[in-house]
């Protein structure tokens, strides 16, 4: 009897212990690691921090730990951490880096979550092009984020000072050159600066030159370089001669990155740049005295044979190593919701990959920058989505730098890049 | 130890063992992994191959980058030794405010590579840069120079910054060496009528031999691995003019995701480094 009573007490105590432990676990907050290069950049950091605070308020059992990363180092950080079985639960990527991440298994398949939310109906609000870019072997491995086209961002006051009408921006690349010659007054000012550094932003700015002349980087099957076509050669020469022959670009253009170019525009050293929705807020934060939102204006990019521009698309990736996939999906859904995408635009002027935001929100339709950016989305084109792309772009940027610095003629530099890119593509993967 | 019944002559293993295990884990394991990766075929596969090495040695860009690295290391180390020795000789003399000058001379060494790279990149900017302005004001140049965009100047500009950044370490080692030379040697030399050059060549230099070897070996290793400065200043450009092995490996591994090929380059770099530094290490150990 004594043993029986003792056993009951033991069972009772164990039951109590298990019960309290379960209660404790239920009360324990799940911490999600959230990483984005915008967290390291004003003015985006505050908007993101506020959004995450709102998410935590609505999901009291989830805490979000913010992890800033520099734009340039994000791939490095995520690669190293994910390969080591760790890394942020959710991270933000340039969509053009996705093929390498997909290829290495560094992005979780989101299809099961999407199916639970309603599958195709859930994805309906997004542009089909954006959804397609998130697919790997038919499954969705990321969610689309910012979606913008590249446009001309120019200083209307400098236009007036040079005797140009700010309401009549150039329509063709020939006019673009004429405008630049009028705007250039060295050493005080140059017409345009285009980044020539080995920077991920290079392809966004250069590609419209190449495509609108009728050229392309690769053949349609992505198997060979297409840089040996007369159109590609013409586009490349035109681009290089803006600096070497016409001298409408400031010195040192081969080392300039996107921020260097924006700094020059902010300080009136150049009259325009190829940018997008992020340009005015960043330029305003560099030099508030310029009054960027009033002085700057946006216009579609000039063209040669066809109207075309580069598409900027970002993506949200769930780490395959996440220990909290349900909560991470909650966060993904929240960031890509209509409410948050609109909030992102209102605060930071960045248009969305959601049609119900970019095509319908009056805030976008009435904005002088966003309306131009949204109007150019139908002319948008993306660079090839293949794992070898960063290496191909490096070979191409090397050629641009060699031509800018006159180490090689534009023809020779492009021919060398063509050969090297064919070598990269021929390599067995 | 008595409790464990370990003989005195074996006791040293007990003290060395933890450190050795740690070294093997922290250095040995990743090194072994790298060697293994370097003989995997690119893009996966089960059989081992030397294909990555074959690609590497047949690549003209790799050969150019290897040459850049050799040039960068030779010029950097030589300039560090010359300037380091010169400044150490000056600071070893009885001069006004010696401790202050010693502190000032050490400052560049305290600045992290990345910070130094960003600062100098701005200073070299052809439009805003302070460096051009300064040289124009003192009359050394008449127009703005493109220090990092000019193919003839880019590598030299990076080496110049590396000289500024790295000479204090050599200076520090040589200064310690200079202070350990007994003054009576110089006094005896002076009594024998030796000139200043003879005192330097016959007393100072031979006394510094060991210190010079240490500085040389360490500096070579560091300069071959120099990454942050070049990555922040030029990213290897224009073209591949300033690309060195460390930035190339980073690019292949983290930007192109060519893990196997990057490992092969890293193995080649390590072998080259060992070939250069081992004679010095052997020389020092012989003298010990």
> Above 90 in pLDDT, residue A155?
yes
* Residue B4 confidence (pLDDT): 60
Establish how many alpha carbons lie within 13 A of residue A302's alpha carbon, considering only the half-sphere containing its beta carbon: 20
Q: Do B42 and A387 lie within an 8 Å CB cutoff?
A: no
Distance CA A165, CA B2 (A): 94
Nearest to A75 among B55, B240, B255 (CB): B255
Nearest to A255 among B55, B237, B255 (CB): B237
> Above 80 in pLDDT, residue B144?
yes
Tell me which chain B residue has its CA closest to the CA of residue A427. Answer: B42
* Residue A164 confidence (pLDDT): 96
Task: Go through chain B and tell me how many residues it has.
Answer: 288
* Contacting residues for B185 by C-beta, under 8 A, at least 6 apart: B203, B207
Asked if B228 is an interface residue toward chain A (Cβ–Cβ < 8 A), one would say no
β-strands A380-381, A135-136 pairing: unpaired
Residue numbers of B between 72 and 111 with CB closer than 8 Å to A? none
pLDDT band at A20 (very low <50, low <70, confident <90, very high): low
Distance CA B22, CA B15 (A): 12
pTM: 0.84
> Above 80 in pLDDT, residue B5?
no
* Contacting residues for A293 by C-beta, under 8 A, at least 6 apart: A280, A284
**If DSSP codes are grouped into helix, strand and coil, which group holds residue A309?**
strand
B26 burial (CB, 10 Å; 0-12 / 13-18 / 19+) is exposed
* Residue A341 confidence (pLDDT): 94
* Residue A318 confidence (pLDDT): 97
Between the two ends of chain B, the Cα-to-Cα distance in Å is 30
Asked if B117 is an interface residue toward chain A (Cβ–Cβ < 8 A), one would say no
- Residue-averaged pLDDT of chain A: 91
pLDDT tens-digit map of B68-98 = 999 999 999 999 999 999 999 999 888 888 7
A288 burial (CB, 10 Å; 0-12 / 13-18 / 19+) is exposed
pLDDT band at A195 (very low <50, low <70, confident <90, very high): confident
Asked if B127 is an interface residue toward chain A (Cβ–Cβ < 8 A), one would say yes
H-only helix segments in A118-268: 120-123, 128-133, 156-161, 173-183, 202-212, 230-244, 258-266
* Residue A115 confidence (pLDDT): 96
* Contacting residues for B62 by C-beta, under 8 A, at least 6 apart: B56, B248, B265
Asked if B210 is an interface residue toward chain A (Cβ–Cβ < 8 A), one would say no
* Residue A139 confidence (pLDDT): 95
Nearest to B239 among A187, A269, A402 (CB): A402
* Residue A15 confidence (pLDDT): 64
Distance CA A354, CA A342 (A): 9
Nearest to A390 among B126, B144, B255 (CB): B255
Provide the percentage of residues in chain B whose pLDDT is more than 70.
96
Asked, as a colleague might, if the bond just before A187 is cis with ω within 30 of 0, I would say yes
Residue labelled with tokens 């021929």: A426
H-only helix segments in A59-97: 74-83
Q: Do A197 and B257 lie within an 8 Å CB cutoff?
A: no
Asked if B42 is an interface residue toward chain A (Cβ–Cβ < 8 A), one would say yes
Nearest to A402 among B61, B238, B258 (CB): B238
Asked if B234 is an interface residue toward chain A (Cβ–Cβ < 8 A), one would say yes
> Above 60 in pLDDT, residue A22?
no
* Residue A425 confidence (pLDDT): 95
Chain A positions in Cβ-Cβ contact with residue B29 (cut-off 8 Å): none
* Residue A385 confidence (pLDDT): 85
* Residue A427 confidence (pLDDT): 84
Q: Do B127 and A251 lie within an 8 Å CB cutoff?
A: yes
How many other C-beta atoms lie within 10 A of the C-beta of residue B58? 9
Q: Do A391 and B256 lie within an 8 Å CB cutoff?
A: yes
Q: Are A381 and A308 spatial neighbours (Cβ–Cβ below 8 Å)?
A: yes
pLDDT band at B237 (very low <50, low <70, confident <90, very high): confident
* Residue A363 confidence (pLDDT): 86
Q: Do B235 and A197 lie within an 8 Å CB cutoff?
A: yes
Q: Are A242 and A170 spatial neighbours (Cβ–Cβ below 8 Å)?
A: no
Q: Do A428 and B42 lie within an 8 Å CB cutoff?
A: yes
pLDDT band at B138 (very low <50, low <70, confident <90, very high): very high
Sign of dihedral through CA atoms A416, A419, A424, A427?
negative
pLDDT tens-digit map of B168-194 = 999 999 999 999 999 999 999 999 999
Chain A positions in Cβ-Cβ contact with residue B241 (cut-off 8 Å): 407
Q: What share of chain A is helix, strand, coil (3-state, %, to 5)?
A: 50, 15, 30
B209-225 and B60-91 helices cross at what angle (nearest 10)? 140
Chain B positions in Cβ-Cβ contact with residue A398 (cut-off 8 Å): 237, 239-240
* Contacting residues for A245 by C-beta, under 8 A, at least 6 apart: none
Q: Are B189 and B203 spatial neighbours (Cβ–Cβ below 8 Å)?
A: yes
Element (H, E) at A404: helix A389-404
Nearest to B144 among A251, A404, A427 (CB): A251
Asked if B60 is an interface residue toward chain A (Cβ–Cβ < 8 A), one would say no
Sign of dihedral through CA atoms B5, B9, B15, B16?
negative
* Residue B287 confidence (pLDDT): 65
Going through A105-158 in order, the beta strands assigned E by DSSP cover 135-136, 139-140, 143-149, 151-155
Asked if B262 is an interface residue toward chain A (Cβ–Cβ < 8 A), one would say no
Distance from CA of A252 to the nearest CA of B (A): 5
Strands, sheet with A151-155, edge to edge from the N-terminal-most edge strand: A190-192, A270-275, A151-155, A296-299
- Residue-averaged pLDDT of chain B: 89
């Amino acid at each position: 009897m004594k043993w029986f009573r003792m056993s009951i007490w033991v069972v009772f105590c164990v039951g109590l212990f298990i019960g309290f432990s379960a209660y404790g676990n239920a009360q324990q907050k799940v911490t999600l690691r959230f990483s984005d290069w915008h967290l390291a950049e004003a003015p985006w950091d505050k908007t993101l921090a506020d959004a995450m605070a709102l998410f935590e308020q609505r999901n009291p059992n989830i805490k979000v730990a913010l992890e800033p990363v520099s734009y340039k180092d994000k791939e490095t950080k995520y690669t190293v951490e994910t390969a080591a079985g760790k890394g942020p639960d959710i991270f933000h990527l340039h969509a053009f880096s996705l093929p390498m991440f997909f290829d290495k298994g560094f992005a979780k398949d989101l299809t099961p979550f999407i199916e639970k939310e309603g599958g195709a109906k859930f994805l309906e609000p997004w542009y089909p092009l954006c959804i397609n870019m998130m697919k790997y072997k038919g499954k969705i491995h990321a969610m689309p984020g910012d979606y913008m086209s590249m446009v001309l961002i120019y200083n209307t006051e400098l236009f007036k000072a040079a005797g140009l009408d700010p309401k009549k921006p150039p329509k063709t690349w020939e006019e673009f050159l004429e405008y630049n010659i009028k705007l250039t007054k060295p050493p005080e000012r140059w017409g345009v600066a285009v980044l020539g550094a080995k920077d991920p932003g290079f392809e966004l700015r250069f590609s419209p030159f190449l495509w609108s002349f009728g050229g392309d980087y690769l053949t349609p099957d992505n198997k060979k370089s297409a840089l040996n076509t007369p159109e590609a050669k013409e586009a490349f020469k035109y681009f290089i001669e803006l600096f070497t022959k016409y001298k409408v670009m400031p010195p040192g253009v081969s080392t300039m990155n996107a921020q260097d170019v924006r700094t020059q525009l902010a300080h009136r050293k150049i009259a325009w740049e190829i940018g997008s929705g992020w340009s005015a807020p960043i330029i305003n934060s560099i030099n508030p005295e310029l009054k960027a939102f009033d002085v700057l204006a946006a216009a579609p990019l000039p063209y040669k044979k066809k109207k075309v521009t580069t598409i900027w698309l970002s993506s949200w990736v769930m780490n395959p190593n996440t220990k909290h996939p349900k909560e991470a999906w909650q966060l993904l859904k929240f960031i890509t919701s209509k409410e948050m995408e609109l909030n992102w635009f209102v605060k930071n002027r960045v248009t969305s990959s959601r049609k119900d935001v970019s095509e319908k929100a009056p805030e976008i339709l009435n904005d002088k920058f966003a309306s131009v950016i949204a109007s150019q989305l139908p002319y948008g084109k993306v660079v090839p989505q293949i794992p070898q792309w960063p290496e191909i772009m490096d070979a191409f940027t090397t050629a641009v730098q060699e031509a800018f610095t006159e180490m090689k003629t534009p023809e020779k530099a492009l021919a060398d890049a063509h050969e090297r890119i064919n070598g990269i593509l021929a390599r067995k993967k | 130890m008595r409790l464990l019944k370990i003989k005195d002559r074996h006791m040293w293993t007990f003290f060395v063992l933890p450190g050795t295990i740690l070294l093997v884990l922290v250095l040995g394991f990743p090194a072994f992994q790298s060697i293994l990766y370097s003989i995997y075929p690119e893009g996966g596969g089960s059989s081992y191959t030397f294909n990555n090495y074959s690609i590497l040695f047949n690549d003209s860009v790799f050969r150019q980058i290897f040459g850049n690295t050799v040039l960068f290391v030779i010029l950097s180390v030589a300039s560090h030794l010359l300037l380091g020795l010169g400044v150490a000789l000056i600071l070893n003399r009885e001069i006004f405010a010696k401790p202050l000058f010693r502190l000032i001379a050490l400052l560049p060494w305290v600045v992290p590579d990345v910070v130094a790279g960003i600062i100098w990149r701005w200073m070299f900017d052809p439009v805003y840069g302070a460096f051009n302005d300064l040289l124009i004001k003192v009359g050394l140049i008449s127009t703005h120079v493109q220090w990092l965009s000019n193919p003839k100047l880019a590598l030299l500009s990076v080496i110049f910054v590396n000289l500024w950044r790295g000479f204090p370490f050599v200076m520090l080692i040589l200064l310690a060496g200079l202070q350990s030379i007994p003054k009576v040697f110089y006094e005896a030399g002076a009594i024998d009528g030796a000139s200043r050059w003879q005192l330097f060549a016959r007393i100072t230099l031979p006394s510094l031999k060991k210190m010079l070897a240490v500085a040389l070996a360490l500096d070579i290793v560091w300069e071959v691995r120099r990454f942050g400065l070049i990555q922040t200043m030029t990213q290897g450009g224009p073209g591949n003019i300033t690309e060195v092995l460390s930035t190339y490996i980073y690019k292949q591994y983290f930007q192109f995701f060519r893990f196997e090929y990057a490992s092969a380059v890293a193995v080649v770099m390590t072998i080259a480094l060992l070939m250069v530094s081992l004679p010095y290490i052997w020389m020092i150990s012989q003298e010990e």
